[in-house]
Structure 1
Amino acid sequence: MEAKVLIYSSLSLLVLAVAFKVIIHLRTRKPKNLPPSPPSLPILGHLHLVKKPLHRTFHTLSQKYGQIFSLRFGSRLVVIVSSPSAVEECFTKNDLVLANRPPSLVAKHIGYNQTTLVGAPYGDLWRNLRRISALEIFSTTRLNMVLGIRRDEMKRFLHKLGRNSSQYFTKVELKSMFSELTFNIIMGMVAGKRYYGYGEEVKNEEEAKRFKKMMVEIAELGGANPQEFVPILRWIDHGGLEKRLMRLAKKMDAFLQALIDEKKGKEEGNTMIHHLLSLQKSQPDYYTDQIIKALW
């Protein structure tokens, strides 16, 4: 019993010491000339003000603090810009300054330690991934080659809408339908597969179940988690977020690698994976499997 009391007491003192250190660090490191900001709480900053839907929260704050104001999400500084002219300036004159995304647990594990096109910091890797995507994936020629996939999915979507309201007016939940349409178009272009639908529309039900489950997990774990903004919660892995992300990352990597391996040495195709694997044959050191997964 005495040993347990000693352990708990030590942990409590450690937590208090870390919290005190974080507070001092934030107060002494406060940048100059920040936009106006609401009163904040120690450690949490303005996290207590964040309520869904976010755009309404930000709109309410902008009416009081102006079109450019700052918030602190735990240890991270966030600047909210709602002025169209200021936003344009951010993405033109100051685009390089604002090009990088802050590191996160999601980018670390799901994003291959920030080496994907979406999460990579501005630099040689990002420029290389962008060049490949612009020339080999999103060029007019490549997009026209998979035009049939997009047309087919739109026909299925409209047919489903028509079937639901063939007799009478009916209420339709479009959010999930648009989500399924988007995923089917993406995966059709990437791997020539459909994962949402019924009966013969989905060839491999088991694979489709795994994919849909992973997408749900990514949506659940990839949101604004307190652990990303409060260091002490991240250090103790509050809620087991990092462990869950590590497990999900292994499943995602195995899934993507299986798609790549399936296309190797098989029939010709117009999908993104087929095309990148054809380039891999002539430049294996450049178009690696990891590069293909980073472009997904």
Structure 2
Amino acid sequence: MSSWILAVLLAVIGGFAYLQRSAKHRRLPPGPRGLPIIGHIHMLGQLPHRSLHRLAKKYGPIMYLRLGLVPTVVVSSPQAAELFLKTHDTIFANRPENQASKYLSYGRKGLAFAEYGPYWRNIRKLCTLRLLSSSKIDSFKGMRREEVALLIQSLKDAAKDRAVVDISAKVGNLIEDMTHRMLFGHSRDEGCEFKPVIQEALNLVGTFNIADYIPYVGALDLQVRFYMIKLEYCPII
């Protein structure tokens, strides 16, 4: 085990040295001075959007940060955003690679996380023609009317009983019911709940993962080991 740790530390140090050497030969936007290995991660704090706002006031609308070993450009003005998202959109079309997209999206094969290129263009075309076409949407018109009618009837029944109704929850259930019927061909009453699965996937994607910023430590699964120890000593969690 000690040899593995030593190898990873040497790889991290080597990667950091490589980034430092390569950065000297690149014209990078202005930015604060970072720390070895972790870069500027420590500057983000508990509210990253506010921290980035404060840094942008000092270093400008196009700012360079290094999150771990990942070089990052932060854009914070409409004019700069137009350059990245419209003028040079094909250069910056890719999403950053992370472990969540790798394991939850079949190796980044889904439309949301796939690498920009021929494969992504093909699946986008497939979704446009087969899933999001006018004829496909119109084919579910009857189902949508049926689900909306059920919602209206439930509201009428609640009004007769003078019961309190959570409209937000009702609309959320309506959307979930329609999604279930479109994807699986049956309502939620006939199968498992779909919403908790989506919520769990979103939680996993949004969880901070140190291996996304220092890839060399990914082989050690440090966070997985931490959570295993936490569950062992805190079984209520």
**TM-score, length basis structure 2:** 0.75
1:238 maps to: 222
1:22 maps to: 15
Letter of the structure 1 residue corresponding to residue 199 of structure 2 = V
Please state how far the C-alpha of 1:220 moved relative to its aligned partner.
2.4
Deviations 1:56-97 (A, max 9, x none): 232222222222112111111111112112222322221111
1:91 to 76, 85, 101: 85
Pairing 1:91-240 to 2, within 5 Å after superposition: 91-149=85-143, 152=147, 156=151, 183-195=176-188, 202-204=189-191, 207-208=192-193, 211-223=194-206, 224-240=208-224
SS of 2:114's partner is coil
2:73 maps to: 79
2:232 maps to: none
Q: Tell me the C-alpha RMSD between the 2 structures.
A: 3.4
Matches of 1:137 and 1:131, distance apart in 2: 10
Letter of the structure 2 residue corresponding to residue 46 of structure 1 = H
SS of 2:80's partner is helix
Letter of the structure 2 residue corresponding to residue 39 of structure 1 = R
2:234 maps to: none
Please state how far the C-alpha of 1:106 moved relative to its aligned partner.
1.8
The count of corresponding residues between Structure 1 and Structure 2 is: 220
SS of 1:79's partner is strand
Letter of the structure 1 residue corresponding to residue 190 of structure 2 = K
Matches of 2:195 and 2:148, distance apart in 1: 17
1:267 maps to: none
**TM-score, length basis structure 1:** 0.62
SS of 2:73's partner is strand
